[in-house]
């Protein structure tokens, strides 16, 4: 009898803690531009307002959550996520996956050749949402670029 009562009290406490945690805050959104499409959506209006020469420069201006690495000649080399000093990074786990119209890019230097007037919108997903859609290799997040011709 005593064990049943303790189990019932534990179950009630767990239920109340879960209910309070779920109802205690406003719905979580990625940013003021967050939407059901991703953690952050950059619209064509925002893209046009930046007057960037290419997709690489546009991402550097609008998405400071990543570090954009270039070689000495100014060619795009990689995109890396920001991690704290105590974080453990495995291989390329910091690098986001870049997908243009459904095709995964193997090299980010292509972004320097993509004019911004060809881009319809850009969706950014963090690590948790990225891995749920693209698999375990998306620990650094996912950058979806939708072109105007491919949308």
Res. 142: pLDDT tops 80: yes
User: Under a CB-based contact definition with an 8 Å cutoff, are residues 44 and 33 in contact?
Assistant: no
* pLDDT given for residue 55 in this prediction: 94
* pLDDT given for residue 147 in this prediction: 95
Locate 135 and state its tokens: 């698999």
103: containing domain: 29-83+90-147
DSSP letters along 135-149, please?
Answer: -GGGTT-EEEEEETT
In a domain, 103, yes or no: yes
Mean pLDDT of the chain, nearest integer: 77
Ramachandran angles phi, psi of 81, nearest 5°: -80, 155
In a domain, 17, yes or no: no
In a domain, 56, yes or no: yes
| 66-70/76-81 β-pairing | antiparallel
Res. 66: pLDDT tops 50: yes
Locate 127 and state its tokens: 């690590």
In a domain, 114, yes or no: yes
- Show the CA angle centred on residue 112, arms to residues 107 and 118, nearest 5°: 110
For residues 124-134, give the mean pLDDT.
86
* pLDDT given for residue 11 in this prediction: 60
In a domain, 37, yes or no: yes
DSSP letters along 84-117, please?
Answer: -TT----TTTTSPEEEETTEEPS-GGGGGGS-GG
Res. 86: pLDDT tops 70: no
Res. 145: pLDDT tops 90: yes
Bridge partner list, 146: 121
Give the total number of structural domains in the chain: 1
1-20 pLDDT, tens digit each: 666 665 566 565 565 555 44
Q: What percent of the chain has pLDDT over 70?
A: 65
For residues 39-63, give the mean pLDDT.
93
In a domain, 51, yes or no: yes
Read off the CATH number of the domain in which 79 is found. Answer: 2.170.130.10
């Amino acid at each position: 009898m005593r064990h049943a009562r303790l189990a019932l009290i534990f179950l009630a406490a767990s239920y109340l803690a879960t209910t309070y945690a779920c109802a205690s805050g406003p719905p979580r959104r990625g940013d003021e531009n967050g939407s059901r499409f991703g953690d952050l959506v950059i619209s064509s209006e925002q893209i046009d307002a930046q007057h960037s020469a290419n997709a690489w420069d546009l991402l550097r201006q609008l998405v400071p959550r990543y570090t954009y690495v270039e070689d000495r000649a100014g060619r795009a080399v990689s995109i890396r996520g920001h991690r704290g000093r105590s974080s453990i990074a495995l291989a390329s786990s910091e690098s986001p996956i870049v997908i243009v119209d459904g095709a995964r890019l193997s090299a980010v230097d292509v972004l320097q050749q993509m004019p911004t007037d060809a881009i319809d919108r850009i969706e950014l997903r963090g690590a948790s949402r990225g891995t749920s859609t693209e698999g375990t290799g998306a620990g650094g997040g996912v950058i979806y670029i939708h072109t105007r011709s491919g949308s």
